Amino acid sequence: MNYRFMRLIVFFDLPMQTDKDRREYARFHKFLLKEGFIMMQKSVYTKLVINNVTSLFVRQKVKENLPQDGLIELLEVTENQFSRIEYLVGKGQQTTVESTDRIIEI
């Protein structure tokens, strides 16, 4: 069997105004996790698939489990393309206080 690894990336923007909206969001989120998607960002999930047949199957399952409202986008890229992703991180916040005010002598 010929393996051509692909990445499926799901982007979504779902309403969160009502209890029904939040239930739909939770249902879709749980579906993605159950199907093996991994969260990259809050509304961006990715899954590795081994070939086009598997990709087609997973894409169909996502289409069958869409929430009623909101926007869902599905992108398929090769694993080679995905591996060239650049992670750009800004300067992190420093949460520790650098002073001697908190030193306790015993």
pLDDT tens for the chain, 106 residues: list them. Answer: 567 899 999 999 999 999 999 999 999 999 999 999 999 999 999 999 999 999 999 999 999 999 989 999 999 999 999 989 888 887 765 665 555 555 555 6
In CATH, the number for domain 6-83 is 3.30.70.240
Count other C-beta atoms under 10 Å from residue 6's C-beta: 21
User: pTM surpassing 0.85?
Assistant: no
Count other C-beta atoms under 10 Å from residue 22's C-beta: 13
Residues β-bridged to residue 73: 11
